[in-house]
Amino acid sequence: MHSAVRPLAITASLVALLAAIPLVFVAYKSSGLTLTKWGGLWQSRLPELLVNTLSLSVLVAIGSLILGVSAAWLVARRHFRGRRLVSWLLVLPLAIPTYVFAHIYTVITADDGWLGQLWLALFGSSIDIFNLWGSALILTLAGFSYVFLLVRIALMDANRSLEEAARIQGAKPFSVFWHVNLPLIRPAIAAAMAVVVLHTLSDFGAVSMLRFQTFTLSIYLQMSGRLDDEAAAGLSLILVALSLTFMILERFFRSRARYFSNAQSRYQQPRKASKGELLVIWLWLGLICLFAFIIPLLWMLQWTWQAIASGAIDARFWGYTLNSLTVGALAATVAMIVALPVGLFHTRIKSWLSNICLYFSSVGFVLPGPVVALGIISFAIFAVPALYGGLTLLVLALVIRFLPLAVQSQEAAMQQLTPSIEQAGRILGAGSLENLKRVILPMIRGGMASAWVLVFIDAIKELPATLLLRPVGFDTLPVRIWIEASEEMLELAAPAALIIVLATLPAIWLMARSSGNRREHGF
C-alpha cells in the first residue's frame, strides 16, 4: 500500500468500526438464537416479510423512477412559467417525515376525510391505504424527490452536444432520451434509487402507521410485544443481508457506467415549451406537487392555525425546535467530516478493505432505528459509560444512521477528481494534507454540502432512535409529533411538522446552490 494511503485506510477503518457498532450488537444478540428458534421464525413470518418488504421496495423504486425522472426531464429540458417554483415544490417533500405523510393521508382518505368522501362520491367505495399499495404510494411521494434532484443535476450537467448530434441525425425526442440521455444519467438514477430503496427498507414511520408488515415493523413488534431481542436481532440480520445484497448489486450496475465529461461542456438554455407540452407539464407536475407537497402543507397550515388560535404554541415549543436544529446540525457536521476518509479511500483504492469500509459504514442506514439505538445504548454502557445519557450518544446514533448518505454524495463528487488533478498537485510539491486542503476539498465542496444537507434533513426528521436515545427531558420536534399524534392532538403535531419543513428550506437551498451551475438550475 502506498504510504500516502495508509493514514487514509486507518481513518476509514476506524469510521467503519464505529458505524458497525449496531451490527455487532445484532450479531451478538442473534447468536443466542437456537436452530429451532430460527426455524420458528422462518415458518411463522419470514416468507411473508420477504415478500412484503421486497414488493414494497420494487413498487416504491418504480414509482419514484416514474415521478422523478419525468419531472427532472421536463424541468431540465423545457422552459416554462413557474419552472423555478416547481423545482422547489418537487424537492420539498423531502422535508416531510414519512410518519407525517402517512398520518395526513390516513386522515384525509378516511371515510370522513375530504379525499375519502370525494372518492366515495366518484367510485362508490372507500379508499383503503392500509396495505401494500397505500404504503408504496406514501413512500413514493416521500422519496421520489431524491430521484428528481440527482437526475435533474445530471441532465443539466450532461453534455448537450451529444443530444444535438443525435437530433441532427434525425432522432426523435424519445429516442434521444433513450439512447443519449439515459446512459448519461444512469449513474445518477442508480445513486438515487439506492437512497430511495434503502429508505424504504429501513422505513418505520409509514409502515407502522399503515400497519404493513415489513421487516422493520416486525422487528419492532418482536421487541415491543415480547421484549424478544433475539428474534428482533435475527430478523435485523436478515434485513442487513438483504440491504447489502442490494447495495452490492447497485454498485456493480453503477461501476459499469462512468463518464468523464470534458471541461468544455457548455450550458444551454432549455427549449421553450410548446402549447401542448405546457398542458402536459402543468397537469403532470401540478398533480405531483399537489399530492406530494401542497396537500400536506395545507393540512399543516390549517392545524397550525388552530394551534396558534388556541395558544398551544409556547416557549416549550421553541425549545423543541432548538433541540431539533442542534441535533440535526451536529449530526450533519460530524457525518460530513467522518464520511470523507471512507469516500476518499473507496474512490482512490479499490480493495477488499475499502469495500468493507464502505459497506460497514452503510449498516446503520438499513437497520431499524430502534435497533441502532439499543445497540448504541449497550455499547455505551459497556465501553464508555461516562457518555451515557448525554447528547453525544444521540448524535453518534444519528451519524451512524445517516453516514451512507454523506458517503454517497461525497463519493459522487470525488469521481470527478481524475487522478491527473491530484498528480498535478503533487508535482507542484503539495503534501497529502495540503493536497486535501487545496485541491480535493475545494473540488468536492458541492458534494460536501449535499452530504451535510442530506444528513441534516434525515436527522431532523428522525424518530425511533431519537425517542430512545435523547437525554431525559430533551424532546425534539419529531418526538413531540409522535407524542401528540398518538393522542390525536393534531393541533400540536402539525406546527412541529411545519417547523421541520421550514427548517429544511435553507438546507435545500444550500444544496441546490452548491450543486454546480447555480442560477441555471432554476433555484
Partner 1 sequence: MLGLKRSFVLVLATISLFASQFILASERLVVYSGRSDQFVLPVIDAFTKKTGIEVQLHNAKSTALLNKLILEGERTQADLFLSNDSGNLQVGADKGLFLPLPEELVADIPEQYRAPDNSWVGLSSRMRVLVINTGAENVADIDSVFDLADPALKGRLAITHSANGSFIAGTTVYMLAAGEEKTRDWLKGMKANVDGKVFNKHSKVVKAVAAGKADVGLVNHYYIYRHLAKSPDAAIKIVLPDQGKDGIGVAENVAGIAISQYSKKLDAAKAFVAFLVSEQGQKIFAEINREYPVRPGVAAAAEVPPAGSFKVADVPMYKLGTERNRTLDMIEAVGMP
Residues that bind partner 1 (CB under 8 A): 44, 106, 110-112, 128, 130, 209, 211, 221, 223-227, 229, 322, 326, 329-330, 333, 370, 374, 377-378, 381, 385, 388-391, 441, 445, 448-449, 452, 467-468, 471-475, 479, 483, 486-489, 510
The CA distance from 272 to 283, in Å, is 17
For partner 1, the closer of residues 117 and 355 by Cβ is 117
CB of 335 to partner 1, least distance (A): 13
The CA distance from 216 to 368, in Å, is 6
For partner 1, the closer of residues 70 and 476 by Cβ is 476
Q: Would you list the DSSP string of 311-340?
A: T---HHHHHHHHHHHHHHHHHHHHHHHHHH
CB of 174 to partner 1, least distance (A): 40
Number of CB atoms found within 10 A of residue 6's CB: 10
Contacts of 304 (CB under 8 A, 6+ apart): 491, 494, 495, 498
Q: What long-range pairs does 491-494 form, CB within 8 A, spacing at least 24?
A: 491/303, 491/304, 491/306, 491/307, 491/310, 491/312, 492/307, 492/312, 493/100, 493/103, 493/303, 494/299, 494/300, 494/301, 494/302, 494/303, 494/304, 494/306, 494/307
The CA distance from 367 to 363, in Å, is 6
The strand pairing partners of 271, in sequence order, are 78
For partner 1, the closer of residues 171 and 221 by Cβ is 221
The two counts, helices (H) then strands (E), for the chain are: 28, 2
CB of 208 to partner 1, least distance (A): 9
For partner 1, the closer of residues 225 and 419 by Cβ is 225
| Spatial CA neighbour of 206 closest among 365, 99, 60, 58 | 99
For partner 1, the closer of residues 92 and 223 by Cβ is 223
- Residue 271 is inside which H or E element, if any? strand 271-272
The CA distance from 76 to 521, in Å, is 8
CB of 270 to partner 1, least distance (A): 29
CB of 91 to partner 1, least distance (A): 19
CB of 87 to partner 1, least distance (A): 22
CB of 356 to partner 1, least distance (A): 28
CB of 14 to partner 1, least distance (A): 21
For partner 1, the closer of residues 11 and 333 by Cβ is 333
CA dihedral 137, 143, 149, 152 (to 10 degrees): -30
Number of CB atoms found within 10 A of residue 489's CB: 16
Helix axes 445-461, 315-348, angle to 10 degrees: 140
CB of 468 to partner 1, least distance (A): 6
The strand pairing partners of 17, in sequence order, are none
The CA distance from 445 to 409, in Å, is 11
CB of 408 to partner 1, least distance (A): 18
CB of 388 to partner 1, least distance (A): 5
For partner 1, the closer of residues 10 and 441 by Cβ is 441
CB of 488 to partner 1, least distance (A): 6
Contacts of 42 (CB under 8 A, 6+ apart): none
Grid cell 421487516 — which residue?
215
The CA distance from 417 to 264, in Å, is 16
For partner 1, the closer of residues 281 and 398 by Cβ is 398
The CA distance from 38 to 234, in Å, is 8
| Cell matching residue 496 | 412541529
The CA distance from 105 to 125, in Å, is 17
For partner 1, the closer of residues 229 and 422 by Cβ is 229
For partner 1, the closer of residues 65 and 334 by Cβ is 334
For partner 1, the closer of residues 159 and 333 by Cβ is 333
For partner 1, the closer of residues 154 and 223 by Cβ is 223
